Structure 1
């Protein structure tokens, strides 16, 4: 395979003109004041204009993750603020906390949901029964391997109040489809397997909804990081306004477990 010329750049996202910017075939000058943040987000990510229903669901999803009080991401942003770093560095530091454990589980679940729906479609019609059976198989496999099911449970919300609101809105706006249905069946299958209901969290809801919106699975983390930067900025500014400097773990909460020097 011939090596690409790394000095040559190609993009189908946007094109700069002397007095405008073309974004996915649309003029930025015409989008300004006429399209919402969610609509342009959808346009940039998918290359298509969102329907009113799609835009409303995406807007709701972006709002639902804008802030979550003192959490891992805001803790890091506030720590960095107290050390005197610029606001952009603190926001970037907070955003870097979104990974497989916190805030980023939706990406892996989105990949799984997408793969399952594609497999069900390859085997025949994507019926509700087929999705229910696929959900039971995934839960059984997860339990057999003793691997937690991504996108379920929340340490502070039992259940996560955002999920039913978003899924109900998706139904109302005609966005709720195979992936959201599969998520609901996974919740039922998990409850049946363990004897108690563990609701789908915001990672689970975002994973299913972004797929039903027609977006790619790897967009999952971006859809959490993007609006959360606003919350992180607010935490940074509040930390500065409070006059906090050099935040750290209190010495009384630090236990030394290393070797001690011998007494002379």
Structure 2
């Protein structure tokens, strides 16, 4: 790597995304004035990420996937955190950052993990071309050798995720139009069937699983899959944060104050000098012990 002193000022930041000079803004080579009003927002996202213009068949599918990922109610940690942040006095930008920052490996990362799984499973299935059912064989081996948990399947809230069937309709349309080849869409469906046979119960695909299938059809890196989910969910976070700001509640905690939490520490105990009233700040007057509901606090 070249010494920092040898790097020319123009090479300090290097990018193939945007070219800006006085009176000129080119995005991936396209003048911004040509893009404005001709290329919609979803297509601009694709252009920024891949450097290419989005075809109509893929645009509808990408748009639907982003729309399905925007929100899942105030009980979703990313949404709840943003609403609590606003109630504590944070401005919208900080509240959105708070919500987006909650999207980690467990809450928000399953789509990326499912993409990695589908890509790996595709390789494993190709290696088992002679098996009677290569998908079941590959899923069994994956669960034994790599991870017993398959991300993107099952939902703690929905018996059937209502977003999945519609997105599969869009994938089927895109395949019919030649916008995708359908390999990963079909593979994800077969994983659902394989899990039902292996586990003895059906684990329906969720939004993370169907989004992963879409993004794998596009050939995106798994990291971009999570990035697109964060981008979409940030819209829901923004809407909830703005709504919360108009409701006027202050310092809203994770649960109402009348709902107690569970205390698991030791029973009340006293310092020896507190028993005799000889310690610093002690008083001779007695105190009355009162029960506590261990409710939420405003501080």
TM-score by length of 1: 0.88
Matched, 1:10 2:33: no
Q: Counterpart of 1:168?
A: 169
Cα displacement (A) at 1:3: 5.2
| Match of residue 280 from structure 2 | none
**Residue of structure 1 in register with 2:248 after alignment:** 243
Q: How many pairs are equivalent?
A: 259
Mapped to 2, the partners of 1:171 and 1:33 lie a distance apart of: 29
Gaps of 5+ in 1: none
Return 5+ residue gaps in structure 2 as ranges. 276-299
For the pair 1:117 / 2:122, whether they are aligned, the reply is yes
Q: 2:85 aligns with which of 80, 90, 93?
A: 80
How do 1:66-77 residues align onto structure 2 when only pairs under 5 Å count? 66-70=70-74, 71-77=76-82
**Residue in structure 2 matching 1:58, options 57, 62, 66:** 62
Q: 1:33 to 1:146 in 2, by over 3 A?
A: closer
Decide whether aligned partners of structure 1 residues 161 and 132 sit closer, same or farther in structure 2, where only a CA change above 3 A counts.
farther
Q: Could you say what secondary structure the match of 1:179 adopts? A: helix
Residue 256 of structure 1 aligns with which residue? 263
| Aligned Cα root-mean-square deviation (Å) | 2.5
Deviation at 1:54, TM superposition (A): 0.7
- Aligned residue for 2:157? 156
1:218 corresponding residue in structure 2 = 223
Q: Is the 8 A contact 1:136 1:186 kept in 2?
A: no
Contact 1:20-1:29 within 8 A present in 2 as well: no
Runs ≥4 residues deviating over 3 A: 3-7, 118-121, 129-132, 143-146
Give, in angstroms, the shift of residue 140 of structure 1: 4.8
Higher Rg of the two aligned structures: 2
**How far apart in 1 are the matches of 2:171 and 2:259?**
49
Cα distance in 2 between the residues matched to 1:21 and 1:130: 54
Q: Which residue of 1 aligns with 2:288?
A: none
Distance of aligned partners of 1:195 and 1:216 in 2 relative to their CA distance in 1, 3 Å threshold: same
Cα distance in structure 2, aligned partners of 1:4 and 1:219? 31
**Distance 1:117-1:26 versus aligned 2 partners, 3 A rule:** farther
**CA apart distance, 1:151:** 0.6
